[in-house]
Structure 1
Amino acid sequence: MSEELRVTDLVTGYGKQEIVHGVSMTARPGHITCVFGPNGSGKSTVIKAVAGLLPAWSGSLQLGETDLTGLAVHHVVRKGIVMMPQGGGVFPRFTVTENLRMGGYSLADASLVEQRIETLIDEYPSLQRRRHVAAGSLSGGEQMMVAIARALVPDPTFVLLDEPSAGLSPALVSETMSRVEELRKRGVGVVMIEQNIREALPIADSIYIFAGGYRKFAGTSADIRDDQHLMSLYMGGESDDQSG
């Protein structure tokens, strides 16, 4: 697929509090788009709106020619966008297979779901061995693998990742970034919210930096001059925005 994910002039927030003030961004299938910014910058709020978890107060959300604005979560999944919550969000008491089955909840064809599960389990030998084990008993790295495989069950165009490295050891952070790169190799677009800039920058095809609910930067790692420039953008001290 060649459908771009486009967020245009998005305004949204929680309750009556506006958090995101007219943010725009574009992500491409088969590319890794990283969104950086301090806590409270609005980055997670944006992808929650894309996933249908928050309403767009104004602006638009589109996947190719499909308008996603106002769609419920299960309809967004059917259109090709899946969100993986922070930490992966596995169901600890469910087996690996049951967790993967949850990834297909929005699909009407149960046989297709089972077929995709078998295909994914074949691709991850360690999951094949543990398929009947409760996900909560797996290591952090294995749980992340389950979460990524579950996100792939609906055969998405895009996967939205909310800080996938949060709480992981340095070794597991590196492994998680490798898993994200595997998604790109499959042709899946990734929009990744991440605090671990050092690990995420090398795999990013495009970068956005948010601060205070505004977009402060849009470009690539090559457009960031040095660490001082990066931190100035990150903290919202200056704007170096480019057309996204």
Structure 2
Amino acid sequence: MTRRLLRAAALAAGSALVALVLAPGQAVAQQEVIQPGASITTGDGYCTLNWIYDGTGDQAGSVYGGTAAHCVEGVGQRISLATSSLGEATVEFGEVAFVADELDYAFIEIDTAHTDLVDPALKGHPQIPTGVSTTETAAVGDLIQFSGHGVGFHLTPITQEQRVGILGYNDGTQHYVNGAVSPGDSGGPVANLTDGNKALGLVNTLGAGVAELPYVGEGGVSLEGMFADAAASGFTVTLRTVG
């Protein structure tokens, strides 16, 4: 697919984006590790945790997990791990500490009592993340790795963890990836394989439509822009990497 077509797909996605939050239901698989790609629940719906972050400045000493803002109700809300999308809550591990509705991201402060459950590695991919993928290092056409609990994909570890897409657009604040995601993946991690197994961003929305050819994929905030946006509000964190 050409750069022009990929960019057109990214821009056209805005007319077909829908939030990816689910209603409760039946459990599928156990999850007791706080890591990118883990299923999380507020009790009213299911999403996926993205990356692990370490606080700096006023947030120094705190550890955070990320998700989408539309997955939570507000600061102070308690969050639990879940067995999977449509599953059962397991460990209540933290509470929402920061919400940015405009760019659709949120940080969950992990309870000190549960930091021993934290693993910064992308679920199913212990070599990811090695750093942050930016506009200077990423390029349209890069291979992108998903790991999450979208409905349908949540049924097996392979379909949770081995979905690969193609980067169609990234301006440093927002990105679009042509690839397979579904409700339940919202808030989850987006990694750039081509750019050295780095963290690119998180899943916010699902897009489908036609721009010269049919397309399907996800749109979301890129970490490069997310960090800058959070810092502008006095909330500073860094990505925790593997190794």
- What TM bracket, shorter-length normalisation? under 0.3
Q: TM-score, normalised by structure 1?
A: 0.27
Tell me which structure has the larger Cα radius of gyration. 1
Q: TM-score, normalised by structure 2?
A: 0.27
